[in-house]
Amino acid sequence: MAAFEQREEAATYEVNLLNGFWSPNKYHGFLNTFKYYKEKVALDKYTIVEAQRTRTVYNWLQYFALEDLDRELVEAGFSIEGVYSDVAGTPYDRNSNEFAVIAKKA
């Protein structure tokens, strides 16, 4: 949940947003970030405006407390075998910005 708490709602505009990630051609990129507190979800809405087209990409990010993820996994028939602070296997720290779990079908 630390990563969710650090996220802020924002509106950003930049020519060739993300260093040209969205197109090899010149474009105008708009990024709007929204937080949904009850659901612990963030939305990064990218609007990419090129000379010949405009497109919108919605990137939804759901954040979990370990206890909530454990409950969802158990309801789906899984159990958690290991918990780490990242996918490299760093020992779990509740204050990490991310965590990784090893789960198996129960």
The ranges assigned to domains in the chain are 2-62, 66-105
Q: 39-97 pLDDT, tens per residue? A: 999 999 999 999 999 999 999 999 999 999 999 999 999 999 999 999 999 999 988 99
Residue 71 zone, left/alpha/beta (φ > 0; ψ -120 to 50; rest): alpha
Q: 5-29 pLDDT, tens per residue? A: 999 999 999 999 999 999 999 999 9
Q: Which residues, listed in sequence order, are joined to residue 104 by a DSSP beta bridge?
A: 79
Residue 2: the pLDDT is 86
Backbone angles phi, psi at 83, to 5 degrees: -135, 135
